[in-house]
Amino acid sequence: MAQQNEGPSVRLLRVGEQVRHVLSDILQRGDVHDDVLTSHVVSITEVRMSPDLRHATVFVKSLLGQDEEAVLKALRTNTAYLQREVATRVRLKYASKLKFLADESFDEGSHIDRLLRDPKVARDLEKPEGDE
């Protein structure tokens, strides 16, 4: 019986979560000697692993979205150090290449919330069925 591909495997999710924890720990403890990273609170919101575990897409959000471009640049500048640390702490056959991206999901959620609160949209949502 063929297995339906319904998304990432448990292993990919588990390794992604391990990488997320390691990166969060490194940033929280201030192990990266970078002024931008030490002066900003950075959340690692999600890590998506490639099927071969050689690539990790790391989604980040700075506190209140402050200086997001500067934070991303600092993370990208320190990628080699972060990759070495992840490789040391997460035992994998190959060191995963890290790619840092801004997590836009919070912005999308806020945008949808603003749209739903718009008086015109709220009025349309309150209309009873069949009442045109």
CATH of the domain at 62: 3.30.300.20
Show the domain range for 95: 10-103
Per-residue model confidence (pLDDT) at position 75: 96
Residue 38: inside a domain, yes or no? yes
Q: What is the pLDDT of residue 100?
A: 96
pLDDT at 83: 94
109 inside domain: no
Is 120 a domain residue?
no
In this prediction the pTM is: 0.74
Is 3 inside a domain boundary?
Answer: no
Mean pLDDT by 10 residues, the chain (132 residues): 63 94 94 91 93 95 83 95 93 89 72 68 65 52
Cα separation, 122 vs 61, in Å, equals 30
- Measure the CA–CA gap between 57 and 60, rounded to whole angstroms: 10
Q: How many domains does the chain have?
A: 1
The answer to whether residue 114 is domain-embedded is no
How many other CB atoms are found less than 10 A from the CB of residue 60? 21
What CA–CA distances, in Å, run from 66 to 1, 13, 37?
50, 28, 12
pLDDT of residue 93: 80
